[in-house]
Amino acid sequence: MSETFDFVIVGAGSAGCAMAYRLAEDGKNSVCVLEFGGSDRGPFIQMPSALSYPMNMKLYNWGFESDPEPGLGGRRLATPRGKVVGGSSSINGMVYVRGHAKDFDTWEEMGAKGWGFRHVLPYFKRQESCPDGEDGWRGTKGPLHIKRGPRDNPLYQAFVEAGRQAGYPVTDDYNGRQQEGFGPMEMTVHKGIRWSAANAYLKPALKRGNVKLITRAFAHRVILEGKRAVGVEYDVGGQVREVRARREVIVAASTINSPKLLQMSGIGAPEVLKKAGIAVAHALPGVGENLQDHLEIYFQIKSKEPVTLYSKLNWFSKGLIGAEWLFFKTGLGSTNHFETCGFIRSAAGIEYPDIQYHFLPAAMRYDGQAAFPGHGFQVHVGPMRAKSRGFVRVRSGQVREAPQILFNYLTHPDDLPEWRRAVRLTRELFQQPAMQRFAAEEIQPGRKVNADAEIDAFIREHCESAYHPCGTCKMGDAKDPTAVVDPECRVIGIENLRVADSSIMPQVTNGNLNGPTIMIGEKASDHILGRQPMAPSNQEPWINPDWKISQR
């Protein structure tokens, strides 16, 4: 069985959905989207506060995990990726962060010409519908609806005020001119519903009639004729099929599956392919390398006052919250509960923030259960630009076998010193007057964790992935031997084949990855269509004028 379309997109995730929408927008092109997952219908995905459920369900999650990590004492860390329409935007925490302006300028310095902040800002604006954002810096007419939580719980404001008392700036829009500081956090929620890339982009695109979505489609390989991509081989329920592309094949299958698909197609480092028993079609040594991520811990405090979400964790309260959401799409079911945040620099001499805080008015475990029997609250905190790098490599030619994933967390000598600063600066935050009204003793790390060696041991034992893997099909100059795609997302050395998703990021951005991944889909669409990129912005982001001599 074989069909032919102008464009074939592998992966209905954050970037894939955006590209399906834009490539089909003028009605001139036919687009086929292959997605191994199924429907995103149902409250577990669509109800924002149910976010811990889909990530822990095999139905919606690929269920990857890392190899034993040498820097974590041999621990394996979960590496969830969305296996559903909408991809990881259907199972993530819905936090919306563009990243800092300097992130994108760094991309350009690393060889991704045309991806500096001035180039990507117009695409962020094009994707956004954010009426609460800073005038002139945010989009208001895009498909992706972005909102702020009501911040009714007093702990939200106390956290921001504690940041101010500690000497940090307050910023009303960290996605606007000034990221650095404390303020309200944004979420991809619209009218009480998770506003995934599927809801924002794919479903409207499917209504046009020139986009076809094939679910339960497991991609085996990109079909090559010499050095030219002509289609994709996939199966549905064990029946092998082909879909052909008149113009281009676009891989948007995630930081884990995009390099795997290239490798299964014979594109990659020859030694990796030969070890897996795969014939080399095109030597490209950077495929699967440069893997990076954010680590985080839950810094947890017992609460003196019964104002946290602990009282809502019983089944009766959950039932009431669920009923209100089901009938009205309002109440505690309509938020992800990450409603305030902070971005700070960990030391003088660091130009822009390298530590991020997500504040949550509950003390939770990773599985969504209470951390202890009582009221507590927490921040998710971790350094944003760890220097350790890992890889994704196929193990064999068996298409269904999960690839080898190794992040090499905490293996760079600079990684743990950054963590020590993050822990100590966080502890200082909770000692500010605004938080002292609420803050009792630490649940974790705990007061006994003070010395460098004690903090190091705690981090190694308790850190978890923030689920922001990226970088495995690095974008760079075509002459860069470590680059996989050029600045127009074209796979170097192969015609009619592109990669456009979080895997092409040369370096991880300062924040959650969903926003910039959608931006990649938006900008890649113009490159694919051969359009002139949007005119660069001349807006200047705020950088702390005293960054060379002051930490805050």
b/e map of 368-401 (b: 16 or more CB within 10 Å)? eebbeeebbbbbbbbbbbbebbbbbbbeeeebee
Catalytic residue among 190, 375, 468, 527: 468
Residue 17 among known ligand-binding residues: yes
- The answer to whether 93 is annotated as binding is yes
Q: Is 465 annotated as a binding residue?
A: no
Q: Is 508 within any annotated ligand binding site?
A: no
Is 434 annotated to bind a ligand? Reply is no
Contacts of 146 (CB under 8 A, 6+ apart): 96, 128, 129, 130, 133, 186, 187, 188, 195
128 is in an annotated binding site: no
- Binding site annotation covers 7? yes
Q: Is 301 annotated as a binding residue?
A: no
Residue that is written with structure tokens 């790098």 in the block: 389
**Nearest Cα to Cα of residue 276 among 397, 392, 400:** 397
Answer for the pair 497, 249: CB distance below 8 angstroms, yes or no. Answer: yes
Residue 247 DSSP SS3: strand
Tell me the sheet residues that pair with 295. Answer: 465
| 546 annotated among ligand-binding-site residues | no
Is 224 marked as binding a ligand?
A: no
Backbone angles phi, psi at 499, to 5 degrees: -125, 130
468 assigned to active site: yes
Is 454 known to sit in a ligand binding site? no
> 34 labelled as ligand-binding?
yes
Written as six digits, the tokens of 547 are: 């960054």
Give the number of other CB atoms < 10 A from CB of residue 152: 11
Is residue 29 marked as binding?
A: yes
Q: Where are the alpha helices (DSSP H) in 128-225?
A: 154-165, 197, 203-206
Is residue 15 marked as binding? yes
Q: What is the rounded distance in angstroms from the CA atom of residue 493 to the CA atom of residue 228?
A: 9
Is 302 annotated to bind ligand? no
The answer to whether 18 is a known ligand-binding residue is yes
To the nearest 10°, report the CA torsion of 154, 157, 160, 163.
Answer: -50
538 to each of 34, 111, 124, 140, how far by Cα in Å? 38, 21, 14, 19
Question: Mind telling me the catalytic residues?
Answer: 468
Annotated binding-site members for FAD? 6-35, 84, 92-95
Annotated binding-site members? 6-35, 84, 92-95
